[in-house]
């Protein structure tokens, strides 16, 4: 680590700006000394914070230079190990003004604390064994969650749902490894290939990993919203539809084809579902470099999207490219027939035999017809997909996902080695690799660089 975890650290734990309350946080061995230097009771006598019982709240003044009052405050005392970090902690609740908090932090620093690094409180909680790495990351997810589902998934992870699954796998693989090692050390015994059940254990774990990997995409949806791409030929009304759905003039609309060049993003909540819309450049023949680049992004958006609204203009003939778009969207595709306020030249029924079961909606982005039905329909489509993963731990973190992919590869290596009849040493090597990778998820075998990278994503004060 670039910094010492022995220092006493201080931070403003509430967001910048004006609020009713603002919280200063202290953690570390010197917490009570620092706090005693800056907190006075109403009679102006210094508090002996170290002498106060844990989990109690007190009233008084935060002072600078022993006299100058900075604010009237409440503070809470948490004695190690019963605190967030498992160290001595004090939280000082001030009035939520930036100047009060800035000065408050300043006196804490003058009295012997140093500024906490981003995520350092949680890092300490991890180092001191209060949380494993999966749970520490869940804290970050919880803070950043934008959806009810995201909060639920993060809380479940914080309570240890995912950690338990991983730990069960580690335990089972640990005993497989022990059997392999015994068989290496005592080759005269029966060995693992004779009815030891080792292969079955590994297969079970492979199944478990696959199930978790499947939940990843859905977990991300819960957290970040449903990535919804608006695609179509130029000028069909993609940007108009985005604006109409959001109820604001978010994207530029003109009668000139090729108006949208870059991807325009915004969020909309429908029922319990958060949609992250991406309005894209129209697909078609690029007439210049800017449009060409825009279209490249459109294609990337198509790949990344969870839901693809293919916007079609019913006042113009249906084009071959539009059929290609609907087909390449596959099961993510939804047809949105726009401009139904104009005289129309085709109907969905004209194409359905070429498309099969693609859901479709008819709207006028201009007049607002059909928008509620479209929103409702989209929420229903997502709900149908979500119903499959009720009540199980969700994988929401790309780091966990990648580690599980590596664990799966190692275990598949084990299976292959087993089938080829390789020696127990080879088999043991694959199991060791899987164990190491699984340990990286919970933090048992994670490198310092990875830890630093993870915790630097936190805000200061958490």
Ligand X SMILES: Nc1nc2c(ncn2[C@@H]2O[C@H](COP(=O)(O)OP(=O)(O)OP(=O)(O)O)[C@@H](O)[C@H]2O)c(=O)[nH]1
The conformation of residue 389, written as its DSSP 8-state character, comes to G
CA distances from 293 to 155, 285, 298 (A): 40, 12, 9
Catalog residues that contact ligand X under the rule CB under 6 A: 232, 234-240, 253-255, 257-260, 281-282, 338-339, 341-342, 364-366
Instruction: Report if residue 260 touches Mg ion, rule: CB under 5 A.
Output: yes
Q: Kindly tell me which of 40 and 238 has the beta carbon lying closer to Mg ion.
A: 238
Across-strand partners of 274? Answer: 269
* Cβ-based nearer residue to Mg ion, 159 or 296: 296
Cα 339 from Cα 224, distance rounded (Å): 31
Q: How far is the CB of 360 from Mg ion (least distance, A)?
A: 21
**Helix or strand run (H / E) with residue 334:** strand 333-338
Coil, helix or strand for 5? Answer: coil
Quick one: what does residue 393 bind among ligand X, Mg ion, none, with the CB cut-off 5 to 8 Å set by partner type?
Answer: none
- Cα distance between residue 232 and residue 310, in whole Å: 5
DSSP annotation of 6 reads T
Taking the least distance from each CB to ligand X, the nearer of 237 and 335 is: 237
- Look at the block and give the residue holding tokens 């129209």: 282
Residue 226 and residue 382 in contact, taking contact as beta carbons nearer than 8 Å: yes
What does 435 bind: ligand X, Mg ion, none (CB cut-off 5 to 8 Å by kind)? none
- Residues 414-453, mask of contacts with Mg ion (x by CB under 5 A): ----------------------------------------
Query: Binding-site residue total for Mg ion (CB under 5 A)?
Result: 4
Least spacing, CB of residue 234 vs ligand X, in Å: 4
CB of 239 to Mg ion, least distance (A): 3
User: Where do the DSSP E strands lie in 171-288?
Assistant: 226-232, 264-270, 273-279
CA 111 to chain centroid, in Å, comes to 37
Q: Is 259 in the site for Mg ion (CB under 5 A)?
A: yes
Q: Tell me whether residue 85 or residue 364 sits nearer to ligand X (CB atom).
A: 364
Minimum distance, C-beta of residue 344 to Mg ion, in the bound complex (Å): 21
Tokens for 223, please give them.
């957290």
Q: Which does 194 bind (CB under 5 to 8 A by kind): ligand X, Mg ion, none?
A: none
Q: Which residue is nearest to ligand X (CB)?
A: 282
Nearer to ligand X, 27 or 239 (CB): 239
Site membership for Mg ion, residue 235 (CB under 5 A): no
For residue 274, what are its two tokens? 């958060």
Spell out a b/e string for 126-160, using b for 16 or more CB atoms within 10 Å of the CB, else e: bbbebbbbbbbbbbbbbeebebebbeebbebbbeb
The least distance separating ligand X from the CB of residue 243, rounded to whole angstroms, comes to 7
298 binds Mg ion (CB under 5 A): no
Provide the token pair at 217.
């995409």
Binding partner of residue 366 among Mg ion, ligand X, none, CB cut-off 5 to 8 Å per kind: ligand X
Binding map of Mg ion across residues 184-223, x = CB under 5 A, - = no contact: ----------------------------------------
Q: Cβ 319 to Mg ion, closest distance in Å?
A: 17
Q: Is 386 in the site for Mg ion (CB under 5 A)?
A: no
Q: How far is the CB of 112 from ligand X (least distance, A)?
A: 59
Q: How far is residue 207's CA from residue 203's CA, in Å, rounded to a whole number?
A: 6
Partner that binds at residue 19, options Mg ion, ligand X, none, CB closer than 5 to 8 Å by kind: none
The smaller minimum CB distance to ligand X, of residues 70 and 233, is found at 233
Is 338 a residue that touches Mg ion (CB under 5 A)? Answer: no
Query: Contact 174/435 with Cβ under 8 angstroms?
Result: yes
Which of the choices Mg ion, ligand X, none does residue 167 contact, using the CB cut-off of 5 to 8 A by kind? none
CB of 242 to Mg ion, least distance (A): 8
Minimum gap (Å) between residue 407 Cβ and Mg ion: 44
239 binds Mg ion (CB under 5 A): yes
Q: Which is nearer to Mg ion, 201 or 263 (CB)?
A: 263
Strand 9-12 versus strand 19-27 pairing type:
antiparallel
Query: Is 76 among the residues that bind Mg ion (CB under 5 A)?
Result: no
Q: In this structure, how many other beta carbons lie within 10 angstroms of the beta carbon of residue 397?
A: 25
Q: How many helices (H) and strands (E) does the chain have?
A: 15, 13
**Pairwise CA distance, residues 226 & 305, whole Å:** 8
Given a contact cutoff of 8 angstroms between Cβ atoms, the answer to whether 18 and 90 are in contact is no
Structure tokens at 250: 């978010």
- Least Å distance, CB 255 to Mg ion, is 11
The residue ranges that bind Mg ion (CB under 5 A) are 238-239, 259-260
């Amino acid at each position: 680590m670039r910094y010492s975890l022995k220092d006493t650290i201080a931070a403003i734990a509430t967001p910048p700006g004006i609020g009713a309350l603002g919280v200063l946080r202290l953690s570390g061995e010197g917490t009570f000394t620092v706090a005693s230097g800056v907190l006075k009771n109403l009679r102006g006598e210094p508090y002996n914070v170290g002498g106060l019982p844990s989990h109690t709240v007190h009233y008084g003044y935060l002072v600078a230079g022993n006299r100058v009052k900075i604010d009237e405050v409440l503070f809470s005392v948490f004695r190690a190990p019963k605190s967030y970090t498992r160290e001595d902690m004090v939280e000082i609740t001030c009035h939520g003004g930036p100047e009060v908090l800035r000065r408050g932090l300043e006196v804490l620093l003058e009295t012997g604390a140093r500024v906490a690094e981003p995520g350092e409180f949680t890092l300490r909680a991890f180092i001191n064994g209060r949380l494993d790495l999966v749970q520490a990351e869940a804290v970050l997810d919880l803070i950043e969650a934008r959806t009810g589902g995201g909060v639920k998934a993060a809380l479940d992870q914080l309570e240890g749902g995912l950690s338990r699954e991983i730990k069960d796998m580690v335990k089972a693989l640990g005993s497989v490894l022990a059997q392999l090692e015994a068989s290496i050390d005592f080759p005269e015994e029966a060995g693992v290939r004779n009815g030891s059940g080792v292969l079955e254990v590994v297969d079970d774990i492979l199944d478990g990993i696959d199930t978790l990997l499947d939940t990843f995409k859905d977990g991300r949806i819960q957290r970040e919203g449903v990535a919804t791409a608006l695609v179509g030929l130029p000028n069909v009304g993609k940007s108009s539809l985005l604006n109409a759905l959001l109820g604001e003039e978010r994207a530029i609309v003109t009668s000139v084809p090729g108006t949208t060049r870059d991807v325009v993003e915004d969020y909309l909540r429908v029922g319990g579902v958060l949609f992250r819309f991406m309005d894209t450049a129209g697909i078609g023949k690029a007439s210049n470099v800017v449009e060409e680049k825009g279209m490249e992004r459109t294609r990337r958006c198509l790949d990344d999207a969870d839901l693809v609204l293919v916007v079609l203009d019913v006042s113009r003939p249906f084009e071959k490219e539009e059929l290609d778009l609907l087909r390449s969207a596959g099961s993510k595709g939804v047809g949105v027939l726009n401009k139904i306020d104009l005289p129309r030249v085709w109907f969905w029924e004209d194409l359905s035999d070429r498309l099969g079961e693609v859901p479709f909606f008819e709207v006028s982005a201009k007049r607002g017809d059909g928008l509620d039905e479209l929103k409702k329909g989209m929420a229903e489509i997502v709900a149908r997909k979500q119903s499959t993963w009720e009540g199980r731990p969700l994988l929401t973190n790309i780091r966990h996902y990648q580690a599980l992919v590596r664990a799966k590869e190692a275990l598949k290596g084990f299976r292959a080695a087993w089938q080829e009849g390789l020696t127990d040493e080879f088999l043991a090597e694959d199991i060791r690799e899987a164990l190491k990778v699984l340990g990286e998820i919970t933090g048992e075998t994670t490198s310092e660089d990875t830890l630093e990278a993870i915790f630097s994503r936190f805000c200061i004060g958490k």
